[in-house]
Structure 1
Amino acid sequence: MSYSDRFDTHIVENQPTPPTPYNLWSEDPMLLHWTQCNSIGEMPEVLHHYGQLAGHSLMDDGEHANKHKPELHLFDRYGRRRDEVHFHPSYHRLMDSAMSKGVHNYSWQHKNKGSAHIVRAALLFMHCQADAGTTCPLTMTHAAVPALKQGKHLPPYWLEKLVHGQYDPRDIPAMDKAGVTIGMGMTEKQGGSDVRRNTTKAIPNDDGSYSIIGHKFFFSAPMCDAHLILAQTEGGLSCFLLPRILENGQRNHVRIQRLKDKLGDWSNASSEVEFTGATGFLIGEEGRGVPVIIDMVSLTRLDCMIGSSALMRQGLVQAVHHVSEREAFGKRLIEQPLMKNVIADLTLECASHVALTMRVAKAVDAAENDNTEAAFARIATAIGKYWICKRTATFINEAQECLGGIGYVEENILPRLYRQAPLNSIWEGSGNVQCLDVLRAIAKDPQSKHALFQELTHARGKNRHYDNFVVELTLAFNQHEDIEVRSRLLTEKTALALQAAQLLKHGEGVLADAFCESRLSHQHGMAFGTLPAHVPFDDIIATGLVTPRQ
């Protein structure tokens, strides 16, 4: 034995190898299954191509873009106002890769092919696992299309460059770019979700534009080519598009005050701004700003579901990898009975979220030609957004715990996922707003309730726990006293019923039975890893395993 061997204290054993890059589409049976269950026809090759890209180089770009936060540059060296945010090159690679594969526009380019929103949901699902911050401008750019179609006096190049454009970060007027991105600024200091309290004013100009005076407390992705905002006019609260750079090459009068120092979402910038006579263009009619934005918000809320499901999926992948290679007390962790319970429970949770997310994407696809699906999309989006986003932080924390202390250090992805996890439950309306929207949908559109229970009826007779639960849920909906106070519990139970319905309808016997017994029949604790002992853990875990191609 050499001298160095005798005194070598750094022998690494019983530590997992770093996770191997994999194709986030073709090697993820969970995403494959639930996308195909809800789609029509063959899946396009772009999914395989983007899965390969997202699972390899974009994972590294996501890490770098979050380690090197955006930097605010208000002035140039001579004191001229710039209002620029500078990003790490990895941010630009993430945006360019995503937009080249249609993460921001696939739904609109292929809207007549039957499953465009589902394919686009799968693309975003994969992108969000590499980096969630860039999904903010990608989501808003995608969701802005229905709103911009209502811009009667808006130059046509805006819509054209949204639907057919590519990433172009150059600091030039939108009319000269290869593609544009759209951000959003709704929230003011005094209003929050109550946007009718907004004080920002819009004054009409002789040329048909408006001068915008006021502020926004959250102005997302300030380097987008334009932002949709709400402002008060003589006709009431109205929607406007504010270009960042005007056609004459001058910067619009949108003054960045500071960047938000956020818990997570570090790769993307969020800001506070003031409008000092900024030029805006009316979208829709004066006084109809909220209805214009609602179409946008319904799509961004679906993206909240997609993003949260994606975070959970990547958290599960990381947890399974670790416990499959780490040993304790003579066995691999994955072979320990209690850890099996935890991983099976996480797999069950993740699968049910992906299933409901893709079902809502299917409804959005069909909404234009099917009134029942449109009504279902309206109510199910609020239900899913509430429940899926609410579960993410707890889920990621449990995944971290599977890794122990390593899950708490910044050398792996889980701390980033954990910081990101609460965002979607807050963005686009927090939990109370979603629950009130469920009640509002039922009150204003009885077809929403009909569509909801029609969806639940399709799964009747397949599981006794489910059947009993739906009967109780029906009674709860018909009891109107104190319904607002009960709306969180009601929304939660409805989400669970919808998730169970997807598992039952698509023949997922092992998953469906375990889900119905644990979630619907109270055979589950408050924490993960509390499934009944007779549940077939190995069979459940197998449905969520990444399956690398040889």
Structure 2
Amino acid sequence: MSGSAPYPRTVRGTNLFDTDVNLHRLLERRAPHVMERHGERLSDFGAWAGTRLDEQAEYTDRFAPPKLDPYDGDGQRTGRVVFNSDYLDCHQEAYRRGAVGLPYAEGAERVSHAVCFAMGYLLSHADISIHCPVTMTGAVAHVLDTLAPADVRDRYLPEMTRMDGHTKSGGTWATELHGGSDVGATTTRAEQRNDGWRLDGVKWFTSNAGSGLALATARPADFDGRDVAGGRGLGCYLVPSHLDDGSPNHYRARRLKEKAGTRGLATAELDLLGAFAVEMAPPPVGLRVMMAALEYSRIHNAVGSAGMLRRAFLESAGWAFHRTAFGRTLRHYPMVQDQLLDMQMEMEAATALAFESVLAFDAQLQNPEGADWLRLVTALAKYRTAEQCVTACRRSVEMVGGNGYTEEWPTARLYRDCLVTAVWEGPANIQALELLRLVAGRRPGNQIFLARVGAVLSDLPNEAKLPGIADAAEILEGAMEECRAALSYLRGNPEEGPRHGRRLLELMSDTMAAALLLEEAVDELALGDRRKWLVARRFVHKVLAKSDPIGPDADPASAAFDAVLAYEPVD
């Protein structure tokens, strides 16, 4: 991307993968097998996402969102959800291209899940209302593959991983009106009958209401006919949309949610009216199975936030490079340059943090001892990427100005849609509680985190090789020591965890993001390119040190604005 206008005026019509130099370099460095084996597939996916998918997203959002058709011709209640054909076609096209099924393909070496997460990242640039159901389908498939009884896995997994245009999509039904994030408060009943299990209750927030197979939490009575309170009393059940004879299962949508964003995605309140279900896991492990699905979705939430953040950055950069005001294009104004550099910096930090979680997922499949690091870095990534995604999407509206606030421009939809990333699969407070379980209790998450950041510090070059690195290293080391002191205090005073958990989450996620950017910078310095170092240095000073003074010492990334923004080498 060289020349005076390295960014098109708007994103639609571009290949979202081929233009993503940052993602290419990350995958080449951390997951070279993905680029070697699936670079062409991802390129095709990026071209589709940047054209057909993005066109559909605008059409569905503005003109043809899903509708509830509550009654049939005889006046009987059905609760049928109706989608426009473009949405349905694009939804199936994502599966046909492998967004869920690739790791389960028969007759070939199993593909890393990183490929599917990269596809989720690309999907979210264009349509989070497609990315969300793809996420849940992947989550249910993962649970079927790893935790379901063999007969259940063999019966249902192929229906979710096929790539022939007839994939059954997934849902996760855990939220109830009185419980919210407290899944252990589930009151939906499960009753065993001769032909299987039957579920009765109300699920209050079921995204992808047209799913073919959904996981649901429910509470069966124990062998004495008593209820077991809390999460230990929950089973996990697989609920098909249709019975074996082709008739609809016994549940229906009460109404569709009227949401701020993700209007293309049908989210419903569901009445379970003796719905047929297959037991995935009985109490006391049912909640653990559902949480495995939600943890998978949290990784997708992180890559999706990073993808939306990049779209916001691209729309802002495109506008700045093509819009003229007061006789000059916006990109020549220093305040605009600062905004773009900050958005790009946060986008690269989000991508690094999200894909650290992705790679931890693949590593944990090979070595279960990595489970603690996976859960920890996923909590950090889910929190920080969502926070920065919302900030970036708001700034993209501001950058474009009045047009950016109208529905004719993609920034308005981006801003509405980005809000879901902060609440999807657990808001910040829930991620803070997850973090506390891993670092301030019996788990060794504190040691794992400090070792990961410490390894980055030990690999940094000296001041002679890279002027300015000593300051950055000192700031990162100071942040790590602040983390160490906080972790030590909370391990010794666990009752203080709920008060300080959110602050700890922010401190550790900022520190981890800075470490990952510096790690990337070291790798690119070995190739003679200082560009990533300028980005990492800016992040370390502005985010970790909270230093952005007004004075003569300009940030060096500002002096190299054109090269940094265009991903051109900096000597």
Note whether the superposition's TM-score is higher than 0.5. yes
Q: 2:161 aligns with which of 156, 163, 177?
A: 163
**8 Å contact kept, 2:104–2:111:** no
Deviations 1:302-338 (Å, cap 9, x if unpaired)?
0110111111100100000001111223322111111
Q: State the 1:50 CA deviation.
A: 0.6
* Cα contact 1:372–1:451 (8 A) shared by 2: no
Structure-2 residue corresponding to 1:466: 476
In the aligned structure 1, how far is the partner of 2:411 from the partner of 2:130? 18
Query: Aligned residue for 2:91?
Result: 95
Task: Give the distance between the partners of 2:390 and 2:412, measured in 1 at CA.
Answer: 11
Contact 2:252/2:272, CA 8 A, preserved across alignment:
yes
Deviation of 1:40 (Å): 3.1
Distance in 1 between the 2:68 and 2:559 partners? 50
Partner residue of 1:239? 236
Superposed, 1:381-400 pairs within 5 Å as 381-400=378-397
Length-normalised TM-score, structure 1: 0.89
Structure 1 CA distance, aligned partners of 2:320 and 2:285?
Answer: 54
Among candidates 213, 220, 223, match of residue 200 of structure 2: 213
Residue in structure 2 matching 1:226, options 213, 228, 241: 213
What is the distance in 2 between the residues matched to 1:324 and 1:436? 43
Shift of residue 108, structure 1, vs aligned partner: 3.6
- Whole-Å separation in 2 of the counterparts to 1:343 and 1:291: 42
Question: Which residue of the other structure, out of 233, 253, 258, is the alignment partner of 2:255?
Answer: 258
In structure 1, what is the equivalent of residue 100 of structure 2?
Answer: 104
Partner of 2:211: helix, strand, or coil?
coil
Deviation at 1:449, TM superposition (A): 2.4
User: Contact 1:23–1:51 (CA<8 Å) still a contact in 2?
Assistant: yes
What is the CA deviation profile of residues 229-273 of structure 1, one whole-angstrom value per residue up to 9, with x for unaligned ones?
A: 100012421101111110012211102100000110011100001
- What residue is the counterpart of 2:316 in the other structure? 319
Amino acid at match of 1:261: E
Given that 2:446 and 2:487 are in contact with CA atoms closer than 8 Å, whether structure 1 keeps it comes out as no
Match of 1:60 in 2: 55
Kindly indicate whether structure 1 or structure 2 has the higher relative contact order, using CA contacts under 8 Å at least 6 residues apart. Answer: 1
Residue 303 of structure 2 corresponds to residue 306 of structure 1: yes
Greater displacement, 387-396 / 103-112: 103-112
1:33 matches 2:25:
yes
Query: Quick one: distance in 1 between partners of 2:409 and 2:558?
Result: 27
Q: Does 1:363 align with 2:355?
A: no
Amino acid at match of 2:22: M
Gaps of 5+ in 2: 1-7, 223-232, 461-472, 522-531
The one-letter code of the counterpart of 2:406 is V
Offset at residue 542 of structure 1 (A): 4.0
- Structure 2 CA distance, aligned partners of 1:495 and 1:541? 29
Rounded Cα–Cα distance in structure 2 between residues aligned with 1:530 and 1:115? 51
Larger mean CA deviation between 215-224 and 475-484 belongs to 475-484
- Relative to the length of structure 2, the TM-score reads 0.86
Hey, what does 2:470 align to over in structure 1?
none
Aligned to 1:353: 350
Could you tell me whether the CA contact under 8 Å between 2:61 and 2:264 is conserved in 1?
yes
**CA distance in structure 2 between the partners assigned to 1:76 and 1:54 by the alignment:** 36
Shift of 1:112: 9.1
> Which residue does the alignment assign to 1:439?
436
Partner of 2:497: 483
Q: Secondary structure at the match of 1:432?
A: helix
* SS in structure 2 of the partner of residue 486 of structure 1: helix
CA deviation vs aligned residue, 1:99-122 (integer Å, no higher than 9, x gap): 111112334449996871222121
RMSD (CA atoms): 2.4
CA shift, 1:488, in A, is 1.0
Residue 492 of structure 1, aligned match among 503, 506, 509: 506
Q: Distance in 2 between matches of 1:185 and 1:537?
A: 48
**Aligned equivalents of 2:563 and 2:107: distance in 1?**
35
Q: Is the contact between residue 305 and residue 384 of structure 1 (CA under 8 Å) also seen in structure 2?
A: yes
SS at match of 1:242: strand
Residue 161 of structure 1 deviates from its aligned partner by 1.8
Cα separation, 2, equivalents of 1:110 and 1:376: 30
SS of 1:279's partner is strand
Identify if the C-alpha distance between structure 1 residues 115 and 380 changes in structure 2 by more than 3 Å, giving closer, same or farther.
farther
**Contact 2:98/2:163 (CA < 8 Å) preserved in 1?**
no
Gaps of 5+ in 1: 1-15, 169-178
CA–CA separation in structure 2 for the residues paired with 1:110 and 1:313 = 34
Task: Flag the 1:544–1:95 CA change in 2: closer, same or farther, 3 A.
Answer: farther
1:190 corresponds to which of 173, 178, 201:
178
Match of 1:160, SS state, is helix
Verify the 8 A CA contact 1:327 1:333 in the aligned structure 2.
Answer: yes
Counterpart Cα distance in 2 of 1:232 and 1:330:
67
User: Which has the larger share of helix?
Assistant: 2
- State whether residues 72 and 259 of structure 1, in contact with CA within 8 Å, keep that contact through their aligned partners in structure 2: yes
- 1:237, 1:288 within 8 Å by CA — same for their partners in 2? yes
1:50 alignment partner AA: F
* 1:418-464 deviation digits (Å, cap 9, x = unpaired): 00111021111111111000001224553322222221111115322
379-388 or 16-25: bigger deviation: 16-25
Q: Distance in 1 between matches of 2:180 and 2:551?
A: 38
SS at match of 2:174: strand
Matched letter for residue 248 of structure 2: R
Q: 2:326 is matched with which residue?
A: 329
Change in Cα spacing, 1:114 to 1:517, as seen in structure 2 (3 Å) is: farther
The question of whether the paired residues in 2 share the 8 Å contact of 1:301 and 1:428 is answered with yes
Matched, 1:132 2:128: yes
How has the CA–CA distance of structure 1 residues 399 and 213 changed in structure 2, closer, same or farther, with 3 Å as cutoff? same
- Count of residue correspondences: 518
